[in-house]
Amino acid sequence: MSSYNWINSRSRFTHGLNKPTEEPKVDEEVSHIVGKKIYAHDKRLLDLVVKFNRKRDPEDLSPSNLLKNPYFIEELKEVLK
């Protein structure tokens, strides 16, 4: 009988190299408005931005500053409370 140790083939090259996961990026401006930590890739935030950008006129090519829109801020606080 042999004394070989079996290992998972998926982890054969990563043994001992496990890196700690990094915390996702925090959206500082939105976090300040809401009053708690909100990540930049939060699905609720992204859905809200898409919703407000769809309401815009497609001919308007100027950058939209949603953080100066009072309706956006009001809904942002409601959704992310």
Answer whether 0.95 is exceeded by the pTM.
no
- Measured CA to CA, the distance from residue 14 to residue 29 in angstroms comes to 38
- pLDDT for 56 equals 84
Check whether 5 has a pLDDT greater than 80. Answer: no
49 token code pair: 């931005």
Per-residue pLDDT reduced to its tens digit, 46-59:
999 999 988 888 88
What Å distances lie between residue 76 and 23, 31, 46, CA to CA? Answer: 23, 10, 11
